[in-house]
Amino acid sequence: MARNVLLISFISFSFIIGCYAEDNLLVSLQDGLVRGQYKESYNGRKFMAFEGIPYAKPPIGDLRFEDPQPVQPWIGVFEAKYLYTCVQISMLPVGPQTDLGDEDCLYLNVYVPREKINPDENLDVILHIHGGAFMIGSPKMLALPNKIMDRDVVYVSINYRLGPFGFYSPGDGHGNYGLKDQTAALKWVQNNIKKFGGNKDSVTITGVSAGGGSTHLHYFTKLSKGLFHRGYAQSGLFHRGYAQSGVALNPWAIRKHPEKQGKILAEQVGCFDEAAEEVRRCLKQRPAKQILDAVKVLYAAPLLPLVPFGPIIEKDSPTAFMAKTPYQQLISNEVTDLPFMMSMTSDEGTTPAALTYNFIDAMNSNWTKWAPLLLEFYEYENYNLDEVSEKIKEEYFKGSLLTKDNYKTLVKACTHRIFHLGAEATSRLQTKSTKSDLYFLVMDYSGPFMPINMTGFDVDFGNGHGSDGKYYYSGDFDIPLDQDGVRMKDILLDMMVAFAKTGKPKIDAVQFTPVPKNGHLNYLYVKGPDDIEMRNEDIFGPRKFWTSLGLQES
């Protein structure tokens, strides 16, 4: 009898504890109730995960190629326990070789470093925009919370429409649906993040690669003003931004002639009408799989060109994301004046160059075809692209053929053209256009060798594109960190969190000073956990040579 009473008491206690845990995981939002689950951080901390919360209506049917619409409230409890992926092609040499995701994908994920939410805690918020050339990627693939949940911030990761679904335009001055999705997610944060203990007045956007470019682009749109507060490349809707491995002045960040790619796509699926609205209506009726198959026709090689569908300059209207290029806005002082931090790795060109590693013979026999695609100047009209290609070849290869032995020279050319020179221009122009501080970090520490994970080649091309992302976020391409890697992770996470809290990144080893308004382009140089210093020498490539080619910034 005593044993039965003890058993009943234990079951009752377990039931009460279970109900208490369930109550802790239940959050009442503007649109309805959501229930999350507990997960464990990198260092073993128990945290709350709310994955797959809808922030806009599903962009399907008549809502395909349209601005995001407010989500419909729901009845009952929404089980927020699923990570969504937006529909996309599979183009990487590694990973799933089938098309991924769903069109119904406008969901976000919220992570709270607590076992119980205190709505009045006012934790700083970091909202992350994943990378993937605006064509591929997801939070599950590239931005899991395991590492950042060892810090006291609310972390939000988002899906946004990719490829043609997010960036198709027939040339009528309308598009940027993927960027507008990001803005809709920022608005959702403003309306709901307090329910998770977050501070809506301290929102920092972060992003890697195209996510970094996206972060920076939010400084150039009136739609996001007042929506974030600092940017680590990454106002309102945000307050700071941190952009890693991508900024708005990189040549891939803005598509110059979206109507050309749009026309090819439409004709591939049988939409031939001359009127833009009729073509859009026709495309809305095509299966997503048919559109994805049509996109593959645009590639000369896996992921080349890097961004066949991406951000565009729209016709000026109240709903336009941007009607002027970032470069035009910078020189006319129209950029949002908020703290901004950006980082670049020392060998950013690793990933794009590695994608052509199997095409060396083809590149040597037809350099003038491949160079514009790889080095992102194929859209430039009124230029002699063959002549530009030959000048680049002479500058970097001095008349030699491309070989596996000198392939790092191609990595260097890609690094300069596709990433570093745009970052340098951003530093010089944005510091003159704003009063807020701008911080610049150069990462020359890669830790465990990574490129094989992304490119499929067991070749060390250098400290590659976005490779510092692995110290902040987890995902499908994770590599176990060694002892120095763990120390590097902690240094960088502490730096980013300090920036998210105060707008000033903090490194114990050295004072991280902002880029001065006039004078040297100083930056934080990170060679390893014990080798961090401020520098100001020029490592950003032959600026005069690239300027002489006349290829304008975005």
Active site residues: 209, 348, 465
**Which residue is associated with the tokens 């910078």?**
330
Q: Which residues are 46's β-sheet partners?
A: 40
Beta strands in 97-165 (DSSP E): 107-112, 123-129, 154-158
Question: Which CA distances in Å does 54 have to 73, 159, 195, 263, 504?
Answer: 10, 10, 15, 32, 33
The pairing of beta strand 227-232 with beta strand 237-244: parallel
Question: Which CA distances in Å does 168 have to 174, 224, 355, 414, 515?
Answer: 9, 21, 24, 26, 36
* Token digits of residue 509: 């080893």
* Token digits of residue 10: 């234990």
* Beta-carbon count within 10 A of 15 CB: 10
Max CA pair span of the chain: 94
**Which residue is associated with the tokens 């520098």?**
535
Nearest Cα residue to 162 out of 210, 209, 231, 206: 210
SS3 readout for 298-331: HCCECCECCCCCCCCCCCCCCCCCCCCCHHHHHH
C-beta separation of 441 from 471 below 8 A = no
C-beta separation of 276 from 284 below 8 A = no
